[in-house]
């Protein structure tokens, strides 16, 4: 019998990626698209972990389901950790950067991705190749109605490329360079990416805690 949990996201790309990673487990994952009346909570946390917990607790309280939520983004060493928790709206934090004026918040995701990448590359235009270290980060939280919770973190280290490359992925993938594979995340086939991404690493860390968590909340 498959167990049902809720994945607190309406991001179809993220949901598809997590569904693939979870495919080996006997879980049926429902997304927020199945709860259209549930309003999304504002991400006011100062860290990925705080935002993940905010989203998981909000959706769990509203639906009564064991809920899994994540928050992820890009941290660039030379930018003192930016974009960080503002990764999805980086171009809005720096008006006029990377074509932000032509990409208001209501534009579709692909336009926002392009604006974020343009803004990032603009802010890094004077940073040499040897100082472009970065990492994708992901925090995941699982919350259950009885009050149980577990959290985990994963990071994927790399560099910021000088220009976008690749047709796969979303977000900053076209400019995130994996030194081991010598490819951007946008050039890495989804199946390979899903076996090494920050989200995969965070989820693997979470799953190590899952048996004890599940025994506590479903017993």
Verify whether residue 71 is a known catalytic residue: yes
The tally of CA atoms less than 13 A away on the side-chain side of residue 121 is: 18
**Nearest one of 143, 137, 142 to 199, comparing CA atoms:** 137
Alpha-carbon distances of 108 from 30, 64, 104, 113, 114, rounded to whole Å: 23, 31, 9, 9, 10
- The answer to whether 56 and 68 are in contact (CB under 8 A) is yes
pLDDT, tens digit (0-9, with 9 covering 90-100), for 141-188: 999 987 889 999 999 999 999 999 999 989 999 999 999 999 999 999
DSSP label of 83:
B
Calculate what percentage of the chain has a pLDDT beyond 90.
58
Q: Catalytic: which of 71, 113, 173, 178? A: 71
Give per-residue pLDDT as tens, 194-211. Answer: 899 999 999 899 989 988
Which CATH topology does 3-218 take? Answer: Maf protein (3.90.950)
Q: Is the pLDDT of residue 97 over 80?
A: no
The mean pLDDT of the chain is 88
Kindly state the tokens that stand for 119.
Answer: 């803004």
Rounded Cα distance between 140 and 152, Å, is 5
What is the band of 101 on the pLDDT scale with cuts at 50, 70, 90? very low
- Does residue 125 carry a pLDDT above 50? yes
* pTM attached to this predicted model: 0.86
**In the predicted structure, residue 116 carries a pLDDT above the cut 90:** yes
């Amino acid at each position: 019998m498959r167990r049902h949990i809720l994945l607190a996201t309406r991001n179809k790309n993220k949901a598809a990626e997590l569904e693939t990673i979870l495919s080996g487990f006997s879980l049926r994952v429902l997304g927020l698209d199945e709860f259209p009346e549930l309003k999304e909570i504002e991400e006011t946390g100062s860290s990925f972990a705080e935002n993940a917990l905010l989203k998981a607790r909000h959706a769990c309280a509203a639906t009564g389901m064991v809920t899994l939520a994540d928050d992820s983004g890009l941290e660039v060493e030379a930018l003192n950790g930016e974009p960080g928790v503002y990764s999805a709206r980086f171009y809005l934090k720096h008006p006029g950067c990377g074509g932000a004026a032509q990409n208001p918040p209501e534009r579709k995701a692909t336009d926002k991705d392009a604006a974020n990448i343009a803004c990032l590359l603009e802010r890094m235009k004077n940073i040499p190749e040897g100082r472009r270290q970065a990492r994708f980060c992901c925090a995941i939280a699982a919350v259950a109605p009885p009050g149980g919770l577990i959290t985990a973190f994963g990071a994927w280290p790399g560099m910021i490329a000088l220009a976008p490359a690749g047709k796969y992925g979303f977000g900053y993938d076209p400019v995130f360079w994996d030194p081991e594979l010598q490819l951007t995340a946008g050039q890495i086939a989804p199946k390979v990416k899903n076996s090494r991404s920050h989200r995969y690493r965070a989820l693997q860390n979470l799953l190590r805690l899952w048996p004890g968590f599940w025994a506590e909340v479903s017993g």
